[in-house]
Amino acid sequence: MKNSSVRNLTISALLIGLGILIPMVMPKIVIGPASFTLASHVPVFIAMFFSPLVAIAVVLGTTFGFFISTTPIIALRAFSHLIFAVIGAKYLQKHPELVLKNGKFTLANGRFQIFNLIIGIIHAVAEMLVVSAFYFMGNMPDTFYSQGYLYTVFILMGIGGLVHSLVDFNIAYFVAGALYKQFNLPIFEKAVKQEKELSKVTA
| Alpha carbons 155 and 64: distance in angstroms, whole number | 28
Residue of 99, 81, 90 whose CA lies nearest to 173: 99
In DSSP terms, 101 is beta-bridged to 104
| Alpha carbons 104 and 145: distance in angstroms, whole number | 48
Residue of 86, 2, 6 whose CA lies nearest to 52: 86
pTM of structure: 0.93
| Alpha carbons 177 and 101: distance in angstroms, whole number | 12
- Are residues 37 and 26 in contact, defined by beta-carbon separation less than 8 angstroms? yes
pLDDT of residue 145: 83
pLDDT of residue 202: 64
Residue type at position 14: L
- Are residues 120 and 162 in contact, defined by beta-carbon separation less than 8 angstroms? yes
pLDDT of residue 188: 95
Segments in the chain below pLDDT 70: 1-3, 32, 202-203
pLDDT of residue 19: 94
Q: What is the pLDDT of residues 80-138, one digit of tens each?
A: 999 999 999 999 999 999 999 988 999 999 999 999 999 999 999 999 999 999 999 88
**Residue 100's CB: how many other CB atoms inside 10 A?**
22
pLDDT of residue 80: 97
pLDDT of residue 3: 64
| Alpha carbons 39 and 84: distance in angstroms, whole number | 16
pLDDT of residue 203: 56
DSSP structure string for 7-49: HHHHHHHHHHHHHHHHHHHS-EEEETTEEEETTTTHHHHHHHT
pLDDT of residue 20: 92
pLDDT of residue 60: 97
- H helices then E strands: how many in the chain? 10, 2
Residue-range domains of the chain with CATH? 3-194 (1.10.1760.20)
